[in-house]
Structure 1
Amino acid sequence: MDGFAAVDFWVAREVLQRGIAALFLIAFVSTLNQFRPLLGERGLLPAPELLAWARSSDRAKRMLRPTLFRYIRYTDRRLVALCAGGIVLAGLLVAGLPQLGPPWLPMLCFLALWLGYMSVASIGQTFYGFGWEMLLLEAGFLAAFLGSQDQPPPTHVIVLFWWLLFRLEFGAGMIKMRGGREWRDLTALTYHHETQPMPGPFSRQAHLLPRWVHKGEVLGNHVAQLIVPWFLFAPLLGLWLPDAVPQLIGTVAGAIVIASQLWLVVTGNFAWLNWATIVLGASAIAVPAVPAPTADIPLWWLIVTLAVTALYAVLSWRPARNLFARDQLMNASFNRWNLANAYGAFGTVTKERIEWIVEGTPDADPDTADWREYGFKGKPGDERRRPRQFAPYHLRLDWMMWFLPLGRSLEDWFRALLVRLLEADRPTLRLLAHDPFDGRRPRSVRVVSYRYRFATRAERREHGVHWIRDRRRVIVPPVGLPDD
């Protein structure tokens, strides 16, 4: 590293800019496909109702995070236009076209993505209440200040990415150490591959590994999240030491983070969380620039990026203190703009997998009815269906279905979902993998809980199933529409 110019981090900038843009593209595609049936004008939790509430009082206005729809009336068509614009802009950044211009051009493009997606997430309610939403927003904001291809990236902006990755990984590690005992006695992965929100195609094989392997996984996780992140900052020693060793240490630290995240990609479906961490891990990888950038960092751009760094120094006090607080917050934002957030996930691991299965029937008598099961795209249902890989795409309804058995009451959105199924609402049915009634209305629906576990190798050979399930109880007894 050479003063304000991170000359050897040109590959890091390429990966950061194009990788973060690719994640924005996926996020906008996910929103385009799912927002309207979930949160649109006739959604399960209509965003217009939230916006109307936000206009009802000054206190409500302050509680709503920044969104363009505060000033422009929400309609589903405008949501589509916003997503289409985000997809096009993100695609241009993935191709690297704005990066060929002056540094203010990619800056404006990333800030537009940041503001556009924040406008969506701010009205997304529980369906957008995931840590990777604020992670994408923060990463997108920082990517705006990486500059253009004809000049080296600013050192202080690269360091801000290390700080983001440190909060993400070390925060997750500390959450685990303060959380369930299973992380401290190294048994967490004995359960997690089976009970995680949305298993992937190789989750069963990972679950069936020997216990000593699971303990090794947990131990490796602790090393990757609690020890390795400190070495991300080693290249800063290069400001005073000409030796290349500090950069090598930082590069190795970034590579370890990437390797640990690739294992999580293989064994689960965590939307773009793991992929975002992989992209951020590349920020620590130093590669000598050949040929070197042809231009120096302009003075005006240096002033802009230093001002952003100073802002981050001020905003980072609370998340830094949170990392070492006894009552550490997980996935929390300390300001309205989703900057300098606190991260963390899976402080505790569930030991048993309970799934709520939604069934419908065309018959009048529920006691003798032919009950047919609705199939979801990602959550377990049919025992013979192997889990699929969806990440980095985010199946929002399926994720929320995982949380239902962990709560103590029916969520409003879930009640609305049952009504939409009774209405055979086409946009809602498109969120599912299987409609047992082929678009026709059922007379009644009900919800039954099942305990799921992965089939052993012997059970798989004998029965041809990936899951073994046993019926527990009826959660929601048969219900129908009033006119039925």
Structure 2
Amino acid sequence: MDGFAAVDFGFSREVLQRGIAALYLVAFVSSLNQFRPLLGEHGLLPAPALLGWAASSKARGRMLQPTLFRRIRYTDRRLAILCWAGIVISVLLVAGIPQLAPPWVPMTCFLALWIGYMSISSIGQTFYGFGWEMLLLEAGFLAAFLGSRDQPPPTVVIVLMWWLVFRLEFGAGMIKIRGGREWRDLTALTYHHETQPMPGPLSRQAHLLPRWLHKGEVLGNHFAQLIVPFFLFAPILSLWMPGPVPQIIGAVAGVIIIVTQVWLVITGNFAWLNWATIVLAFSAIGVPMRASAEQTLPLYWIIITSAVGILYLVVSWPALRNLFAHRQLMNASFNRWQLANAYGAFGTVTKARIEIVIEGTLDEDPDAATWREYEFKGKPGDVRRVPRQFAPYHLRLDWLMWFLPLGRSLDDWFTVFLARLLQADAPTLALLRADPFAGRPPRWVRAVSYRYRFATREERHRDGVIWMRDRRRVIVGAAELP
């Protein structure tokens, strides 16, 4: 590092800018495909109703996060236009075209992505209530100030990227240590591969590893999240300690985080959470370069990026305090712009996998009916089907179906979802992998809970199944639906 200019981090900037833009591309495509049936004008939780409530006198003082739809009336068509605009800008940034222009051009592009996606997530309600939504927003805001290719990246922005990775990893580590006993007695991953929200194609193989390896996984996780993040800041020492050692320490810390996240990518489907962490961890990997006269920052860019640094000093205090608080908040934002957030996930691990299976029938008598199952794209259903890899794409309906058995009562959207299945609503059915009635409306639908577990090697060889399951109880009966 060299004062205001992080001359050795040009490669890191390339990965950060293109990688973050690629994640925005995935996010906008996900919204284009899913927002309207979930939250559109005729969605399960219509966004226009939320915006109407926010504009009412009853909601005065309860502000939504910033959204363009407070100024521009929401319509599904306008949502699609916003998504397509985000897709185009993301593709340009992935290709590196705006980065060839002066730094204000990529800055404008990333801020447009930030504002555009915030406008969507702010009205996304429970379907957008995930920590990686605010992570993407914060990463996009910081990426706006990484500059252009003909200049070195600003030191202050690279350091802020380290601070983001630190909060992300150390926050998750502290949540686990303060959470369930399974993280302290090293048994968490004995269950996690099987009970995680959306298993991947290799999750079963990971689950069947020996118990001592699962304990090693937990120890490795604690090391990567509780110790390694502190070493991300080692390159700052190079300002006073010439030589490659500080930068090597920071790079090794980044590589360790990347390796642990790759393992999570291989064994699960956590939308873009792991992918974003991998991209952000590249901020610690510098490639030594000799400084030259051309590798300086213009004064106006130093002023802008320094102002961003000062802003972060101010807004980061609540997040810093939260990291060491007795009652640590998980995935919390302390300001309306979702900057300097608190992150963390899976403070506890569920020990058993309960799935809600939705069934329908064309028969008139529900008591004597032949019931057929609706298949979801990502969550377990057919016991013979190998889970697929969807991440970094986010299947929002499938994720919320995992949360349903964990709640004390069924969410409002779920009743509407069942009613849409009774109507054979085409946009709703498009969210599913398979409609057993090929577009015909069923006479009845119901929801039944099952206990799922991965098949042992012997059960797999004998029966050709991935899952074993046993029926528990009817959650929503046919007679209970309107």
Q: TM-score, normalised by structure 2?
A: 0.99
What's the offset of the Cα at 1:321?
Answer: 0.4
Distance (Å, rounded) in 2 between the aligned partners of 1:266 and 1:196: 13
Conservation of the 8 A alpha-carbon contact between 1:152 and 1:293: no
Amino acid at match of 1:128: Y
Task: Tell me the alpha carbon deviations over residues 159-185 of structure 1, each in whole angstroms, 9 at most, x when there is no partner.
Answer: 000000000000000000000000000
Give the 3-state SS of the residue equivalent to 1:109 in structure 2. helix
The equivalences for 1:309-458 within 5 A come to 309-458=309-458
Task: Tell me the alpha carbon deviations over residues 293-338 of structure 1, each in whole angstroms, 9 at most, x when there is no partner.
Answer: 9352010010000001000000000000000000000000000001
Distance (Å, rounded) in 2 between the aligned partners of 1:25 and 1:6: 27
What's the offset of the Cα at 1:345?
Answer: 0.2
The equivalences for 1:110-259 within 5 A come to 110-259=110-259
Give the 3-state SS of the residue equivalent to 1:111 in structure 2. helix
49-58 or 438-447, larger mean C-alpha shift: 49-58
| Structure 1 unaligned spans of 5+ | none
Distance (Å, rounded) in 2 between the aligned partners of 1:164 and 1:452: 36
Task: Tell me the alpha carbon deviations over residues 357-410 of structure 1, each in whole angstroms, 9 at most, x when there is no partner.
Answer: 000000011111010000000000000000000000000000000000000111
What's the offset of the Cα at 1:480?
Answer: 7.9
Conservation of the 8 A alpha-carbon contact between 1:99 and 1:148: yes
Task: Tell me the alpha carbon deviations over residues 72-117 of structure 1, each in whole angstroms, 9 at most, x when there is no partner.
Answer: 0000000000000000000000000000000000000000000000
Which consecutive segments of 4 or more residues in structure 1 shift more than 6 A?
290-293
For 2:3, the equivalent position in structure 1 comes to 3
Q: TM-score, normalised by structure 1?
A: 0.98
Distance (Å, rounded) in 1 between the aligned partners of 2:11 and 2:136: 20
What's the offset of the Cα at 1:59?
Answer: 4.2
For 1:83, the equivalent position in structure 2 comes to 83
The equivalences for 1:90-105 within 5 A come to 90-105=90-105
Distance (Å, rounded) in 2 between the aligned partners of 1:175 and 1:425: 41
Conservation of the 8 A alpha-carbon contact between 2:7 and 2:291: no
Q: Are residues 57 and 292 of structure 1, via their aligned partners in 2, closer, same or farther at CA, if it must alter by over 3 Å? A: farther
What's the offset of the Cα at 1:287?
Answer: 0.4
Conservation of the 8 A alpha-carbon contact between 2:356 and 2:405: yes
Distance (Å, rounded) in 2 between the aligned partners of 1:11 and 1:342: 28
Give the 3-state SS of the residue equivalent to 2:470 in structure 1. strand
| Structure 2 unaligned spans of 5+ | none
Conservation of the 8 A alpha-carbon contact between 2:53 and 2:59: no
Conservation of the 8 A alpha-carbon contact between 1:361 and 1:442: yes
Conservation of the 8 A alpha-carbon contact between 1:379 and 1:402: yes
Distance (Å, rounded) in 1 between the aligned partners of 2:394 and 2:368: 38
Distance (Å, rounded) in 1 between the aligned partners of 2:49 and 2:67: 15
The equivalences for 1:33-112 within 5 A come to 33-57=33-57, 59-60=59-60, 62-112=62-112
Distance (Å, rounded) in 1 between the aligned partners of 2:214 and 2:15: 32
Distance (Å, rounded) in 2 between the aligned partners of 1:6 and 1:457: 52
For 2:460, the equivalent position in structure 1 comes to 460
Task: Tell me the alpha carbon deviations over residues 253-300 of structure 1, each in whole angstroms, 9 at most, x when there is no partner.
Answer: 000000000000000000000000000110000102489693520100
Task: Tell me the alpha carbon deviations over residues 413-459 of structure 1, each in whole angstroms, 9 at most, x when there is no partner.
Answer: 00010010000000000000010000000000000000000000000
Distance (Å, rounded) in 2 between the aligned partners of 1:373 and 1:437: 10
What's the offset of the Cα at 1:61?
Answer: 5.6
Distance (Å, rounded) in 2 between the aligned partners of 1:237 and 1:27: 37
Give the 3-state SS of the residue equivalent to 2:366 in structure 1. coil
Distance (Å, rounded) in 2 between the aligned partners of 1:60 and 1:45: 21
What's the offset of the Cα at 1:62?
Answer: 3.5
Amino acid at match of 1:244: P
What's the offset of the Cα at 1:479?
Answer: 4.1
Distance (Å, rounded) in 1 between the aligned partners of 2:480 and 2:474: 16
Amino acid at match of 2:273: L
Amino acid at match of 2:286: A
Conservation of the 8 A alpha-carbon contact between 1:54 and 1:61: no
Distance (Å, rounded) in 2 between the aligned partners of 1:388 and 1:291: 47
Distance (Å, rounded) in 1 between the aligned partners of 2:369 and 2:291: 73
Distance (Å, rounded) in 2 between the aligned partners of 1:464 and 1:372: 21
Distance (Å, rounded) in 1 between the aligned partners of 2:315 and 2:275: 25
Distance (Å, rounded) in 2 between the aligned partners of 1:243 and 1:481: 70
Conservation of the 8 A alpha-carbon contact between 1:110 and 1:141: yes
Give the 3-state SS of the residue equivalent to 1:451 in structure 2. strand
Distance (Å, rounded) in 1 between the aligned partners of 2:214 and 2:45: 39
Distance (Å, rounded) in 1 between the aligned partners of 2:416 and 2:356: 15
Distance (Å, rounded) in 2 between the aligned partners of 1:424 and 1:291: 64
Give the 3-state SS of the residue equivalent to 2:294 in structure 1. coil
Give the 3-state SS of the residue equivalent to 1:445 in structure 2. strand
Distance (Å, rounded) in 1 between the aligned partners of 2:59 and 2:454: 48
Amino acid at match of 1:176: K
Task: Tell me the alpha carbon deviations over residues 176-221 of structure 1, each in whole angstroms, 9 at most, x when there is no partner.
Answer: 0000000000000000000000000000000000000000000000
Give the 3-state SS of the residue equivalent to 1:453 in structure 2. strand
Distance (Å, rounded) in 1 between the aligned partners of 2:327 and 2:419: 40
Distance (Å, rounded) in 2 between the aligned partners of 1:466 and 1:39: 33
Give the 3-state SS of the residue equivalent to 1:432 in structure 2. coil
Give the 3-state SS of the residue equivalent to 1:473 in structure 2. strand
Task: Tell me the alpha carbon deviations over residues 202-253 of structure 1, each in whole angstroms, 9 at most, x when there is no partner.
Answer: 0000000000000000000000000000000000000001111000000000
Give the 3-state SS of the residue equivalent to 1:382 in structure 2. coil
Amino acid at match of 2:352: E
Task: Tell me the alpha carbon deviations over residues 117-144 of structure 1, each in whole angstroms, 9 at most, x when there is no partner.
Answer: 0000000000000000000000000000
For 1:18, the equivalent position in structure 2 comes to 18
